[in-house]
Structure 1
Amino acid sequence: MPHRILPVTPFQQNCTLLWCDATRETAIVDPGGDLERIHQAISDDRLIPTQILLTHGHIDHVGGAARLARELSVPIAGPHPDDAFLLESLPQQSQMFGLPKVDALTPDRWLTVDDEIRIGHRVLTIVHCPGHTPGHLVFVDLDDRLAQVGDVLFAGSIGRTDFPRGNHRDLLDSIRQRLFPLGDDIRFIPGHGPMSSFGEERRHNPFVGDRATY
């Protein structure tokens, strides 16, 4: 699936544009901020934004979502409803991190594993991967072997679980039991840092790789 990764905010969070090459219809995943850059990228690539997708409810991933949805007149989908408490706490999150105030957010559509996302002729499968947050979702294009994993898995690392309602065991199980079985060849875009593949992490990741014990 064609994509463009835009690190945004002081957290250098990977906002990603995913689009259908046939229709140019585009989903914006995790627009945490720096909306001018996102608008410019949409214009540069001549894309047609149709929706915003949220992997989870932390402010570096969702801080710009409501404003961007208004500016583009598109709906917001996700995360899983188990992250509702995080979206309700966005004013407190913005204060905690010294960021401009962000209002509480309710998406137009909560997502579960029974749903799917269509971007033009492309289809994203939804995988619920609790651990970093209880309602964290991963979006997977099974045809193009590409996943958007948010803060579940990173190149050589895994997501933090010391935030409210994080769970280390759940995170490890999500990666080992829900993501790795999808195939070593799947490349993934993490919430921060460079891309990797499930196979690379299964072989070498010190936290969840084949040699890791937990």
Structure 2
Amino acid sequence: MLQVKIVPVTAFQQNCSIVWDSESKEAVLIDAGGEPEKLQAEVEALGLTVKALWLTHGHLDHAGAVGTLSRIWNIPVIGPHKEDQFWLDMLQEVSERYGFPIPEKVQVTQWLEGGETLHLGEQSFEVRFAPGHTPGHVMFYNADYGLLWTGDVLFKGSIGRTDFPRGNHQQLIDSIQRECFSLPDETQFISGHGPLSTIGFEKQHNPFVASKAG
């Protein structure tokens, strides 16, 4: 059985997801954005063995703890798309600018392109390429449980910012149409910040994309 615990980290309150298989107790962390000691303590309290760190994109508040945890646990870093390499290369610089602790460098083990299938225990996750917020943004979708991790693509009642370097508003809208709104309405999604929502709710009520859902 798939289990999920959301642990908000840093002043940005980024939703890091601890995702695990209840039988094997094997886990992945999606977007370990900071506070590595806090995330370590959560994992230990749950009695899990983390097998990989998955990244939706390269922004500081999603990748800030990845370098430290990948070293401590000696595990691979999976994602994002290689177009976000420049963001990961700037992690230290951006952290200093925001007054955050300087994170360890992130070494990506496997870049993603979209269309791949990732595995955790018996569970499969489809990788969906969704650029716009950043050029290399990916999402993770588990069809069996109807769960989608959208990173900073889609939020409850909102969408990702596109005013960062190489952001593209039209590309983001296209990604939401193609990669989010093509999923069943009852699909629940976990975004990078804020509460959970469903695809159907956003199609009807999200002011940024609802009118385009048809």
1:113-172 alpha-carbon deviations (Å, 9 max, x no partner): 242211111111000000000100000001110011100000000000000000000001
1:168-189 alpha-carbon deviations (Å, 9 max, x no partner): 0000111012211111111000
Task: Report what 2:12 is aligned to.
Answer: 11
1:88-135 alpha-carbon deviations (Å, 9 max, x no partner): 111221122111223442301111224221111111100000000010
C-alpha separation between the residues in 2 aligned to 1:64 and 1:162?
24
Change (3 A) 1:212 1:112: closer
The runs of at least 4 consecutive aligned structure 1 residues that moved more than 6 Å come to: none
Contact 1:139/1:149, CA 8 A, preserved across alignment: yes
Task: Report what 2:185 is aligned to.
Answer: 184
1:141-152 aligned at under 5 Å gives the runs 141-152=142-153
C-alpha separation between the residues in 2 aligned to 1:92 and 1:44?
33
Task: Report what 2:68 is aligned to.
Answer: 67
Matched, 1:79 2:80: yes
Q: Calculate percent identity across the aligned residue pairs.
A: 42
Task: Report what 1:136 is aligned to.
Answer: 137
C-alpha separation between the residues in 2 aligned to 1:114 and 1:12?
29
Q: TM-score, normalised by structure 2?
A: 0.95
C-alpha separation between the residues in 2 aligned to 1:10 and 1:154?
18
C-alpha separation between the residues in 2 aligned to 1:212 and 1:110?
31
| TM-superposed deviation, 1:212 | 4.8
Q: TM-score, normalised by structure 1?
A: 0.95
Where does structure 2 lack aligned partners over 5 or more consecutive residues? none
Task: Report what 1:201 is aligned to.
Answer: 202
SS in 1 for 2:171: helix
C-alpha separation between the residues in 1 aligned to 2:88 and 2:139?
17
1:69-148 aligned at under 5 Å gives the runs 69-148=70-149
Contact 2:68/2:103, CA 8 A, preserved across alignment: no
Contact 2:68/2:104, CA 8 A, preserved across alignment: no
SS in 1 for 2:167: coil
Contact 2:26/2:120, CA 8 A, preserved across alignment: yes
Task: Report what 2:170 is aligned to.
Answer: 169
C-alpha separation between the residues in 1 aligned to 2:166 and 2:105?
18
1:30-57 alpha-carbon deviations (Å, 9 max, x no partner): 1111122211211222111100000000
Where does structure 1 lack aligned partners over 5 or more consecutive residues? none
Task: Report what 1:40 is aligned to.
Answer: 41
1:50-93 alpha-carbon deviations (Å, 9 max, x no partner): 00000000000001101011111211110011111111111221
